[in-house]
Amino acid sequence: MLYVKRIMLVFLIAYSAHFYGQNIFRDTLKLSLRQADSLMIHRNLFLLAEKCNLDASKALIIQAGIFSNPTLTINQNVYNTEYKTNGGREWFDFTDKGETSLQLEQLFYLAGKRNKRIKLAGLSADKEESVYFDLVRSLKYSMRSDFFTIYFLGKILAVYDREIASLSTFTEVAAGQVEKGYFSKKEFLRIKSMLFALENEKLGYETQQISTLTEFNVLMQTSGVCYVPQPDEHSSDTLSFLKLKLETLIDTAYQCRRDLKSVQSDLQISQVNLSYQKALSLPDLTLSGGWDRNGSFVHNYNFIGLQIDLPVFNRNQGNIKSARATLENSKYKLQSMHDRVKADVFNAYASACETNKLYSAFDPGFVADLDQLINEMLKNYEKKNISLVEFLDYYDAYKQNSVQVNNLLLNRVVAFENINYAVGKDILPIN
């Protein structure tokens, strides 16, 4: 009774997962890897948001180059206390008897402060551009990993579908023979148990596929789409690690890794900022000119003036010291980032070589031979040419080897993508 309940529970869970998947993934869409790349870059909200940050940082370059506005000051007396004796108007006397003054001021930045601000803004925009393309690199890696995972999970599930369909048909026939006494009930229960195990394992892969499809929909900025990847299965066959040299890959990574360029921009920003903080220790010059009708020692007084701070107390000492410390910090981070990039490339290269070594020893016709023999084994068991143990062992071996082969193919493709990700460039392009 407990055994029957377990069987019913597994079938219920499997049916629920199937029903759940059918309701969530309402639409089906076939797409190639290039189409997936294009869709993600043009639709992913994270990339669109980061693109806005990039545009905003570029606009700050314009702002940094704009000169300060001139300042106009106008003074006018409100009430003329001597209008009765000297003439003129009592309120707001704009005549020659009243007081009116005008002054125009313009600030001029000295020590190259304006050019340094423009350079700082440009370096900040360069860093933001590196951040954007590094995000593209990371999201592309996640998307491609999901793309191939969905594809090979589909092939693994197809293996389970074939075995389950075959065993289900056989158990339906065997059930009638058990009642008539032509088939051993013990063997029948063993086959049902294997069918139960296959359904349970298939459910695990279906759950993984639903999770991966959901994540893929988020990257594509869609909802409820069951994507059916259409990769070029033979595009990776010609790819080899024999022509790749570790030293060349590391040098390429130093040139292409956007996260490294971002840290390099931090160093440049720190260097320019130190120069800018030193420039701020020098005061700026304000040039002014104006006219005063009656407020000075002569009537209609015209004047020009210069204004400059005296750097007696504040010479920007603290900010200069802070900028020096920030510069040292950037140097340490850049060296650490170089080490990290080198380690990433080395790890990806070593892992890919091991995966490719295993793949090179794999016989492509192995799975095809298994597919041809699986039906023959079932027929031989029905004819009692082989025992139940041999039949079940072969079925289990077929399933395990088929799953392992697909996992090997997936691991090999992901290994290629790991190298592309570590280097920051499509060294091994896959379609």
CB-based contact 198:159 (threshold 8 Å): no
Q: What is the DSSP letter of 91?
A: B
Q: pTM of the entire structure?
A: 0.83
If one compares 204 and 366, the residue with the highest pLDDT of the two is 204
Q: What is the pLDDT of residue 65?
A: 93
> String of b and e for 82-95 (b: at least 16 CB within 10 Å)?
ebeeeebeeeebee
pLDDT band at 280 (very low <50, low <70, confident <90, very high): very high
Give the H/E segment covering residue 174.
helix 113-180
What percent of the chain shows pLDDT beyond 70?
Answer: 87
1-54 per-position pLDDT tens digit? 434 334 333 343 344 444 444 456 778 899 999 999 999 999 999 999 999 999
**50 burial class (0-12, 13-18, 19+ CB within 10 angstroms)?**
buried
Higher pLDDT, 2 or 357: 357
Taking the C-alpha atoms of residue 15 and residue 256, their distance in angstroms, rounded to an integer, is: 48
Q: Is the pLDDT of residue 288 over 50?
A: yes
| pLDDT of 108 strictly over 50 | yes
For residues 231-257, one letter each, b for 16 or more C-beta atoms within 10 angstroms of the residue's C-beta and e for the rest, the string is beeeebeebebeebeeeebbebbbebb
Average pLDDT, the chain: 85
Please answer whether residues 160 and 202 qualify as being in contact, where contact means their C-beta atoms are separated by less than 8 angstroms: yes
Percent of the chain with pLDDT over 90: 56
What's the rounded Cα separation, in Å, for the pair 266 and 188?
Answer: 70
How far apart are the C-alpha atoms of 216 and 109, rounded to whole Å? 52
Mean pLDDT along residues 71-79 = 89
For residues 181-205, average pLDDT: 84
Q: Is 182 exposed, middle or buried (0-12, 13-18, 19+ CB in 10 A)?
A: exposed
| Calpha distance 357→153 (Å, rounded) | 23
pLDDT at 23: 56
Structural domains in the chain plus CATH codes: 2-68+109-281+316-423 (1.20.1600.10), 69-108+283-315 (2.20.200)
Our measurement of the distance from residue 379's CA atom to the centroid of its chain's CA atoms, rounded to an integer in Å, reads 52
Per residue in 383-392, pLDDT (tens digit) is: 777 777 777 7
Map tokens 């032509």 to a residue. Answer: 182
Look up residue 101 and give its amino acid. S
Q: Which amino acid, residue 34?
A: R
CB atoms within 10 A of CB 279: 19
In whole angstroms, how far apart are CA 154 and each of 157, 361, 410?
Answer: 5, 24, 12
Q: What is the mean pLDDT of residues 317-337?
A: 96
pLDDT at 20: 43
The pLDDT-based confidence of 243 (bands split at 50, 70, 90) is confident
Helix/strand/coil percentages in the chain, nearest 5: 70, 10, 20
285/308 Cα distance (integer angstroms): 5
Q: What whole-number distance in Å separates Cα of residue 161 and Cα of residue 167?
A: 10
